[in-house]
Amino acid sequence: MSKRDYYEVLEVNRNASDAEIKKAYRRLAIKFHPDKNPGDKEAEDRFKELSEAYAVLSDGQKRATYDQFGHAGLGGGGGFSSGGFGGGGSPFEDIFGDIFGDIFGGGGGGGRRGRGQRGDDLRYNLTIEFNEAAFGLETKIQVPRHQPCESCSGSGAKAGTSPTVCSTCRGAGQVRYQQGFFSLTRPCPDCNGAGKVIETPCPECRGSGRTRMQRSLSLKIPAGVESGSRLKLSGEGEAGLNGAPPGDLYVVLTVKDHPIFEREGQDVLCEVPISFTQAALGCEIEVPTLDGKVKMKVPAGTQSGKVLKLTGKGIPVLQGYGRGDQLVVLRVETPTKLSARQKELLEEFAKAGGEEFNPMGKSFFDKVKELFD
């Protein structure tokens, strides 16, 4: 049986924010939680489906993969596994406390915030020129982000001191309590689930273990990218909490329009104006390309809109071999300001040629005559 779309499962739009996804999951999880629907197999299956969808859509990296490749991109059809989603432990710990609070009347938890938590992914929007997208470039970007505090090495404790084991939970980060027939665990209220207590916070980061700084990064953009292309820089996102790994940085590209070129896949389109005389008699013209100007022959009798191809003058194939073509669209310009002598010559030309010199026009009016006469 094929899996349902995760956005459909959580009843949210594909552009839903993280907060909207969390709110939707919380609402539906409360409704279908097995403890509120004992013996209901359908509710149990629905809860598992909700949990699987939230595990993917609440994780920036997993969500990006799912948006691009669907279930197939997650491996094994996108099934949920309690490990491997970052931050340690279950991916739902940050909201389970709230859910159990609503079900059993307790307060909110949020244990994941206190323990090691993987840093957030970041997005950086970068605008580049048309030619830079075609041939690639190396550049530097300045990214504002949280980094491990240099003063305390990310521990949050003042230099020369260290966090101490929490006396309440004895380093477990959780406390167990009884709620009716249920025995539940909650993040320790004294250490907020960290298992340790910072008695002397670092004055630089105020105990958070992170400081906000500008980081300069070298970025290599491959040839052939286009607007919407995303480059992933692993480990260059926000610093993690309590020694957890950092998130990733996604650079999203926007390519500026070119004044004379237009892209269609790997091909480049370019409209080139020619005169009535050049089109009628044929000529050789210079045509601009991404590599510079080249000479191209225009055959006699060329009609406006005719397309000529310059092989291999298009966009390089992204992470592949070869290039597309350049398609040159010829536009025949009709003169708008004629001297008396030019008008006289054109009238003589028309009289001398007659309709046989206008095969397209003759064919069109012959068809009109057949239809209406």
Summarised one tens digit per residue, pLDDT across range 338-359 is 899 988 988 888 888 764 445 5
Q: With respect to CATH, is domain 1-110 assigned 1.10.287.110? A: yes
CATH number of the 118-152+205-257 domain: 2.60.260.20
Q: How high is the pLDDT of residue 106?
A: 42
**Closest Cα to residue 55, out of 35, 77, 33, 82?**
82
d(CA 155, CA 161): 10
Summarised one tens digit per residue, pLDDT across range 96-107 is 444 444 444 444
Q: Are 286 and 293 in contact (CB under 8 A)?
A: yes
161: which 2 tokens? 């001191």
Percent of the chain predicted with pLDDT > 70:
82
Topology match between the domains 1-110 and 118-152+205-257 = no
Domain boundaries, the chain: 1-110, 118-152+205-257, 261-372
Q: How high is the pLDDT of residue 363?
A: 67
- For the whole model, what pTM was predicted? 0.57
| Strand 326-333 with 267-275, pairing | parallel
Summarised one tens digit per residue, pLDDT across range 188-238 is 888 877 788 888 888 888 887 888 888 899 999 999 999 999 999 999 998
Q: How high is the pLDDT of residue 351?
A: 84
- The domain 261-372 is placed in CATH, from the list 3.50.50.60, 3.40.630.30, 2.60.260.20, 3.30.70.270, at 2.60.260.20
Question: What is the arithmetic mean of pLDDT over 175-200?
Answer: 77
Amino acid at site 135: F
**Closest Cα to residue 110, out of 195, 192, 202, 174?**
192
Q: Is 93 a residue whose pLDDT tops 50?
A: no
Summarised one tens digit per residue, pLDDT across range 252-287 is 999 999 999 999 999 999 999 999 899 999 999 999
Name the residue with higher pLDDT: 15 or 80: 15
Q: How high is the pLDDT of residue 68?
A: 74
